[in-house]
């Protein structure tokens, strides 16, 4: 785990700022991993008595030893898998998101020209603050708006922005991503992390790029696969068309961002 490659930040510093959502999941995985580890050790230490127990249900001693060995092996493998899942969850919860946020920010060529940016579903502000940090580094006078689902989330995001030292570049607003409270062509850059997929399930993960093509988006790029929370993830970047050409049977494309 150590330090993230892009921001050179120790993961303990990142957790100190952003904390952890769904910590109950980490505790659940860790406790079960410890339980299965203990059970596998007991199988190893008391293998012969356990085989004797199995013989009460199986007529063959060889079959009883095989059943006991198989059960112990499955228990040990389960413990390893649970420890891996707990470690993956711990790393994915903040450090990986922090690293991916800076990779997403790096996809924009020149932040000094950005006057206004939007982060959809800003959450704890990991991506939002990465954008604000980049604006600060380039000396831009731009601002980034975080769209939050509630007042509590917005206040929490503003607190993390202050801890990151970028509060002057950040504002938050409550709203629904499906009905943005902004006029058309208001933002130069729009970002989103682990959020857009929750409002576009009807298109499916495999057809997301195709949907962007149907909407006439340009420069569509999909990064290599990144494993997070035991699932495959990708960074998708694209650009709005510079011009909307109307032809026979075509509909003008209008976006609220």
Half-sphere exposure (CA, 13 Å, Cβ side) for 161?
27
Is 133 exposed, middle or buried (CB count within 10 Å of its CB: 0-12, 13-18, 19+)?
A: buried
Helix axes 97-106, 126-137, angle to 10 degrees: 40
Strands (E) located in the chain: 116-120, 143-148, 170-174, 189-192, 218-222, 226-228, 231-233, 236-239
Nearest to 236 by CA among 248, 254, 224: 224
pTM: 0.70
pLDDT tens-place string over residues 127-136: 999 999 999 9
Q: Tell me how crowded residue 85 is: count the other CB atoms within 10 A of its CB.
A: 19
pLDDT tens-place string over residues 197-212: 555 555 555 567 777 7
Percent of the chain, pLDDT > 90? 30
Query: Tokens 């922090």 appear where?
Result: 98
> Is 50 exceeded by the pLDDT of residue 225?
yes
Which helix (DSSP H) or strand (DSSP E) does residue 128 occupy?
Answer: helix 126-137
Compare 128 and 57 and report the one with higher pLDDT: 128
- What is the structure's pLDDT at 1? 37
Query: Tokens 């003008």 appear where?
Result: 252
> Is 50 exceeded by the pLDDT of residue 6?
no
């Amino acid at each position: 785990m150590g330090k993230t490659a892009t921001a050179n930040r120790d993961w303990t510093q990142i957790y100190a700022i952003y904390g952890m959502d769904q910590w109950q999941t980490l505790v659940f995985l860790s406790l079960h991993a410890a339980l299965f580890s203990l059970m596998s050790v007991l199988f190893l230490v008391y293998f012969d008595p356990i085989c004797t127990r199995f013989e009460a249900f199986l007529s063959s001693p060889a079959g009883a030893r095989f059943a006991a060995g198989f059960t112990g092996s499955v228990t040990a493998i389960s413990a390893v898998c649970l420890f891996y899942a707990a470690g993956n969850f711990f790393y994915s919860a903040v450090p990986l998101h922090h690293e991916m946020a800076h990779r997403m920010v790096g996809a924009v060529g020149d932040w000094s020209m950005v006057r206004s940016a939007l982060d959809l579903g800003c959450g704890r502000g990991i991506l939002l603050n990465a954008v604000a940090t980049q604006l600060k580094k380039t000396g831009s006078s731009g601002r980034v708006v975080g769209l939050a689902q509630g007042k509590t989330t917005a206040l929490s995001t503003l607190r993390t922005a202050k801890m990151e030292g970028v509060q002057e570049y950040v504002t938050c607003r409550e709203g629904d991503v499906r009905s943005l409270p902004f006029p058309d062509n208001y933002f130069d850059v729009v970002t989103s992390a682990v959020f857009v997929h929750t409002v576009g399930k009807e298109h499916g993960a495999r057809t997301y790029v195709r949907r962007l093509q149907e909407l006439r988006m340009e420069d569509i790029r999909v990064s290599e696969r990144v494993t997070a929370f035991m699932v495959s993830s990708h960074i998708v970047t694209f650009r709005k068309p510079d011009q909307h050409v109307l032809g026979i049977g075509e509909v003008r494309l209008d976006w609220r961002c």
